[in-house]
Amino acid sequence: MPSSDSESHERTHRSPRRRSPGNGRELRRHELSRERYRDNEDAGRRRSPRGHRDGNRDGREYHHKRRRERSYSLDADKRRRRSRDREDESRRRRHRDRAQREDNDQASTRYSRPRSRSRNRGEHRRSQDTRSRSLSPQAPVRSRGPLPSQNDAFNSTDGVKKEQPAPEKEKPNFGNTGRLAAESNTVTVNGGSVVLKYHEPPEARKPPTKDDWRLYVFRGEDLLEMVQLSERSCWLIGREKLVVDFPIEHPSCSKQHAVVQFRYVEKKNEYGDKTGHVRPYLIDLESANGSKVNGNLVPGGRYIELRDKDVLKFGQSSRDYVLMLSSE
């Protein structure tokens, strides 16, 4: 028995004379299969427009697939280029941020007080991390130091020396020079002129006759001299014998050392009535070694009221000058 239709077909062609009823059936079957094949080919050749459209659709799908593959490859290239551009842009941004950070650090160190190094390093790292994470290339760089003053920012520039301020012009002085007072207090004695350091005030008065003021001069327990102070209203004491009223020869005393001045002073009593009295006052003419009343140094240029039995001392002199009011 033959194994297939092709083998039976070959046998029929090789031996056409030897045919049997079984071989005829197989041949008929083979011819029917060939006719079906031809009919299928003719049907394929005579396809309807719908079938033609289906074939075109398959071609279009193929072309679309190829285009998609090409677009995918192009998108991949674009993505690679974009990633490279982003890396380059981030590298440039980091470089620009680093330069701006260095400039800001220099400005902040110039106008702010110094901080600890560890704290500055931590702040620098934190600022670097935040700036590297930022995507905006125009993001402002903020400094953590204090803001500089506007005057320093406008006046101080790098590499330019500050000009020294111009010296202030001397303003006119309309104060008293003392020359007029010196001219009015100048005294001519024996062909020489001496300027008096003291001038009597308007309230200067001679003590009344009932008040007998006296000045006793002691050296230790010895009485050297007694002076009647009621004769005049002012007694100039010093070493300048040409102008003084009461000369002192001790070298520690000044030429015009002090003044005992009688002044009329009004005072109110407990009922509000004014009562005036002439009292002695001591004024030190800003001498070199000063004057003392009862052992206390008196300030220069101020009136100090004197009372009965006050002890005066001038300079480093050992003499005691006792002021007393006579009861006679």
- Name the strand (E) or helix (H) holding 265: strand 258-268
Rg of the chain, C-alpha, whole Å: 66
Same domain (yes/no): 213, 314: yes
Class of residue 105 by CB neighbours under 10 A (exposed 0-12, middle 13-18, buried 19+): middle
Q: Mapping DSSP to helix (H, G, I), strand (E, B) and coil, where does residue 216 land?
A: strand
End residue of a domain, out of 84, 111, 138: 111
Strands 234-238 and 258-268: antiparallel
pLDDT exceeds 60 at position 4: no
How much is the pLDDT for 187? 72
pLDDT exceeds 90 at position 96: no
Same domain (yes/no): 207, 95: no
How much is the pLDDT for 135? 47
- What residues have CB less than 8 Å from 279, skipping those under 6 apart? 262, 263, 265, 305, 306
Q: Mapping DSSP to helix (H, G, I), strand (E, B) and coil, where does residue 82 land?
A: helix
More confident residue, 83 or 231: 231
Give the least confident one: 80-94, 114-128, 163-177. 114-128
Report how far residue 25's alpha carbon sits from residue 21's, in angstroms, rounded to the nearest whole number. Answer: 7
Q: Does 55 fall in a domain?
A: no
Of the pLDDT bands very low, low, confident and very high (cuts 50, 70, 90), residue 169 is: confident
pLDDT exceeds 70 at position 109: no
pLDDT exceeds 80 at position 160: no
pLDDT exceeds 70 at position 1: no
- Name the strand (E) or helix (H) holding 314: strand 310-314
Class of residue 306 by CB neighbours under 10 A (exposed 0-12, middle 13-18, buried 19+): buried
pLDDT exceeds 90 at position 235: yes
Class of residue 209 by CB neighbours under 10 A (exposed 0-12, middle 13-18, buried 19+): exposed
How much is the pLDDT for 52? 47
**Looking at residue 222, which CATH number applies to its domain?**
2.60.200.20
Q: Does 267 fall in a domain?
A: yes
Alpha-carbon torsion angle 304, 310, 314, 315, nearest 10: -90
Q: Does 305 fall in a domain?
A: yes
Q: Which of 80-89, 103-112, 316-325 has the highest mean pLDDT?
A: 316-325
Q: Does 283 fall in a domain?
A: yes
Same domain (yes/no): 319, 217: yes
Residue 238 · residue 265 · CB < 8 Å: no
Residue 304 tokens read as 């100090």
Give the least confident one: 15-19, 52-56, 236-240. 15-19
- Name the strand (E) or helix (H) holding 104: helix 49-111
Q: Does 215 fall in a domain?
A: yes
Give the least confident one: 14-28, 89-103, 266-280. 14-28
Q: How is the beta sheet containing 303-305 ordered, strand by strand?
A: 246-247, 234-238, 258-268, 274-284, 303-305
Q: Does 303 fall in a domain?
A: yes
Predicted confidence (pLDDT) per residue in 177-221, tens digit: 666 655 667 777 777 778 888 888 999 999 988 888 999 999 988
End residue of a domain, out of 111, 141, 175: 111
Mean pLDDT of all residues in 134-148 = 65
Residue 192: C-alpha distances to residues 29, 199, 238, 241 (Å): 177, 19, 18, 13
Strands 246-247 and 234-238: parallel
Q: Which domain holds residue 213?
A: 202-326
Dihedrals φ, ψ of 118, to 5°? Answer: -65, -40
Q: Does 25 fall in a domain?
A: no
**Angle at which helices 49-111 and 117-133 cross, to 10°:** 160
Number of domains into which the chain is organized:
2
Same domain (yes/no): 209, 100: no
Neighbours of 206 (CB within 10 A): 15
Q: Does 38 fall in a domain?
A: no
